Structure 1
Amino acid sequence: MFAGYFFFVIFSYYLIKPLREGIFLERYSSTDIPVVNILTLAGIWLFGMVYNHLHRRFSRLLFMLQVNALLFGFLVLFGLAFHFEDAFGRQPQMFSRIVALFYIWLNIFNLFSVSLFWSITNEVYPTSLARRDYGFIGAGGIAGGIVAGLVSWFLYTHLEVPPREMILVCIPFYLCCIVLPSVIIMAEQDRITTETGVPPGEKKGKSALGEVFDLLRRDRYLLLIAAVMFLKILSGTVFHYEFYSTLQRNVDKGFYTQLNNLVFLSVNVLALGINLFVTPYMLRRYSLQRSLSALPLLVVALSWFLLVDWFALIMVGGVVMSGLTYSLDRSAKELLYIPTEVRVKYRVKSFIDTFVYRGGSLMASVLILGMQVLGVEVVGNFILKLVLAGLWLAAVHAVIRRYNLFAAGSREGS
């Protein structure tokens, strides 16, 4: 059931994701994207305040229903706006603003729907079962992305469904993201706590986000999880920028889109295979540190390939890196939250998954822009990636030390 829930979360997002870039670039230029990304960060902050407030005040079932009702409500509103686009004929600026809001909202939709899924899963699953099942659950999400691509292709090419109608097509599928977690929460009531409200010792006047900052400030373990996420996004974004720059330099423009689609398909197929066959084995047989160290070590190797411009190895390595990101690394990262208390699983995790994630992406954009302005050469880029990968590995080592102490304490307490 968890794999099915994750399937529909990712399926819903990837069904409408192609519309976001296409319709945005019809009304705006690529130079407007950095501004929209900053506005997205503000939108994540606002939605995060609502998300944490709802978790603080309501039972798990009501909290989940209200968050999904917000996401579903905006999905319906944007679907109707795009369906009746002709009604904005005399107010084109109004529709352009709706397009920009849709671009921002879809990022929020993706980040919070995925974070909510993993929060519920981490609360229900004990560590022993998570090591066994998280690979298969993750495979459900990867399958959702693959199937969404096939469904979109079929609707576009055979049924000639306009891209703008894909949001309305998505609506019945997203209802599954409301029904399935409701069934899970009601079926797993013995494992799901009824904790709501302000914990003992906390000031009642403190905001939900204020509580998140207090938890991060007081608990080094949570700060280290945030550091791992931040450095992962920072390093990954810098690498992918150079990866696609290399792709553009070495591939004819007429073949670029086809090759990019092939890369995307290869990443999904590889991630599906890793989740089904490698992730369960790695998480059960080896330490969590090995699973979390795979990506930063791969970044070191790929940085060398970029330095010597080995195009074939860069292509293969880029696909492997993305495949590991969506499979083994994601499952291993989620295991870090299982020993934590409930408010960490929902409130702190959502902050790290959304705001810290976007913050890392924004910082990477600043770094890339700075390197372009300063004219940093290939060797300088190589050194930067090595430094980032080294910091990432150090953060992984530190968080695993805390995790082992945390997990041991949880076992003794039980």
Structure 2
Amino acid sequence: MKLDLPSLFNVRRGEILHVSLAVGFFFCVLTALMMLRPAREALGMRGGLDAVRWLFVGTAVVTLLVNPVFGLLVSRFRRMQFIGATYLFFAASLAGFYLLLAWAPAAVGTASGQVFYVWFSVFNLFSTMVFWALMADRFTLEQGKRFFGLISVGGTLGAIFGPWLASVLVRAVGTAGLLLVSAGFLLLALALGWGIVRQPSAAAPAGRKAHDAERIGGGAWEGIKALARSRYLAGIAAYVVILAVMATFLYFTRLQMVAALGHELDGRTALFARIDMLTQTATLAIQLVLAGHLMKRLGVAVTLALLPLTTALGFVGLALVGSLAALIAFEAAFRAVQRAIMRPARETLFTVLDREDKYKAKAFIDTFVYRFGDVAGAQFEGALGRLAMGLYAIAGVAVPLAFAWIGLALWLGRAQQRMASATPGTEPAASTVFPVLQKRTEP
């Protein structure tokens, strides 16, 4: 029996090149990020867990300041010009941090580690946001439902490869050497991004090439204004805030358990890398089985609700068991559902918006709004910790919040269907739960 890969992955033959480039692009971005994430954790912990909580506040402030700068780039330059400027800036920053670590290691202390922590957190958000904004702009809703899950496989492979490569190289080249390797992957990602834009889209309408070359225009603050006047965007923002709060609860639980084990900088870097590799392996297993099919069968609404359900069950189990092994199992499940199932579904929410919102409003939501959720989660987790109730207190907050999260997911899926059915040339999202409604809901 002949294996038909296009049918297996729900990709048509004319789309194979586009999807392959996107998979490679995301692979390189996540490799660059996940190589450095263990170093970020190890450097950030030098000041203690309370300092990490305040680093979340610093990151939120920086992302708020960077957003109008990015909005200005989007307004003034063509698409690949502002995307290229974003990635080149981060690659140059990596080279600068390398020079500091390699040539002046004595100057690296708690303060410089905290600067790197904040910088990496901003880098993490903007690099993935720009990638998915390009995907939402380049592909239609119907295409996104079919192969955004497959494109996410590329990111998962990079997220597995990055920590593995970091754990192998850190003893030989040190944490500093990882920065240059990461910068190289970032430049390769940019080259693949240029390849995606240069390829004619299989589903492109007439005149799409000229459309792609146009400047988006508008003001630097349009993303924030759009969020204030759109219930749909506000719903996406609320979904992201809850996601960030839940992820932060899980994140600080992991930091506390790892801190209790001791280890020096390189040892902690290696341990974080191994944990990341295990969680990403679980993500890949789900993606290979479900990529390109789950959203088509269950609909975006149900797909978005799977992560809140997983989170509720995970926090209950973690509160009952309370071991590092249970934490790793929960984190593996959380990250797997988040990246393999929820993230592709959430990215399709942006395909029904206009180009300005796909870049500017999405940038604000995926960076500042997400970091606002981080700050809220970090401070709330710290307050619960001071009550000395441990994981029971966190579960007592997380589980009810997860049920509200489920309701929001179902509303977003239904709103997307109404908008898609009212947008010319956009195929409505299929769902086995909600019928396609013909009445338009303004974004």
TM-score using structure 1 length: 0.85
Deviation, structure 1 residue 315 = 5.2
Residue aligning to 1:227: 238
Establish whether residue 13 from structure 1 lines up as the match of residue 33 from structure 2. yes
For residue 193 of structure 1, the aligned residue among 208, 212, 220 is 212
Match of 1:203 in 2: none
- Work out whether 1:360 is the aligned partner of 2:373: yes
Unaligned runs of 5+ in 1: 200-206
CA distance 1:357–1:266, shift in 2 (3 Å) = same
> How is 1:179-190 mapped onto 2 (pairs within 5 angstroms)?
179-188=191-200, 190=208
> Which residue is equivalent to 1:270?
282
Aligned to 1:73: 92
Shift of 1:43: 1.6
Once the two structures are TM-superposed, the CA of residue 77 in structure 1 deviates from its matched residue by 1.7
User: Across the two proteins, how many residue pairs are aligned to each other?
Assistant: 395
Cα distance between partner residues in 2 of 1:239 and 1:171: 29
What is the aligned partner in structure 1 of residue 297 from structure 2? 285
Q: Deviations over 1:336-358 (max 9, x none)?
A: 11111111111111111111111
Which amino acid letter does the alignment assign opposite residue 160 of structure 2?
Answer: I
3-state secondary structure, aligned to 2:293: helix
In structure 1, the partner of 2:83 is: 64
Contact 2:33–2:124 (Cα < 8 Å) also in 1: yes
Q: 2:187 aligns with which of 168, 171, 175?
A: 175
What percent identity do the matched residue pairs reach? Answer: 22
- The question of whether the paired residues in 1 share the 8 Å contact of 2:137 and 2:358 is answered with yes
- 1:62–1:296 distance in 2 versus 1, CA, 3 Å: same
Moved more, 273-282 or 53-62: 273-282
The change in CA–CA distance for 1:34 and 1:300 in structure 2 (over 3 A counts) is: closer
Residue in 1 that maps onto 2:249: 238
Contact 2:153-2:284 at 8 Å conserved across structures: yes
**Alignment match, 2:418:** 405
> What is the one-letter code of the residue matched to 2:70?
Y
SS at match of 2:180: helix
**Structure 2 unpaired stretches of 5+:** 1-20, 202-207, 428-443
Match of 1:302 among 314, 323, 326: 314
Residue equivalent to 1:388: 401
Residue 335 of structure 2: aligned partner: 322
- In structure 2, the partner of 1:202 is none
User: Deviation at 1:313?
Assistant: 6.4
Residue 4 of structure 1 corresponds to: 24
Q: Distance in 2 between matches of 1:275 and 1:119?
A: 21
Q: 1:271-308 CA distances to partner (integer Å, 9 max, x unpaired)?
A: 11212221322112221111111111122222332454
Q: Which of 383, 392, 409 lines up with 1:370 in the alignment?
A: 383
Equivalent residue for 1:204?
none
1:142 matched to 2:162? The reply is no
Cα shift readout 1:92-120 (whole Å, capped 9, x = no counterpart): 48x76544322221111111011000011
Q: Please tell me the residue identity of whatever aligns with 1:51.
A: F
Correspondent of 1:39 among 44, 58, 61: 58
Contact (CA 8 Å) 2:67, 2:364: kept in 1 or not? Answer: yes
Residues 216 and 355, structure 2, Cα contact 8 Å, conserved in 1: no
- Give the counterpart letter for 2:25 in structure 1: Y
Q: 2 CA distance for matches of 1:155 and 1:381?
A: 36
**Cα contact 1:239–1:385 (8 A) shared by 2:** no
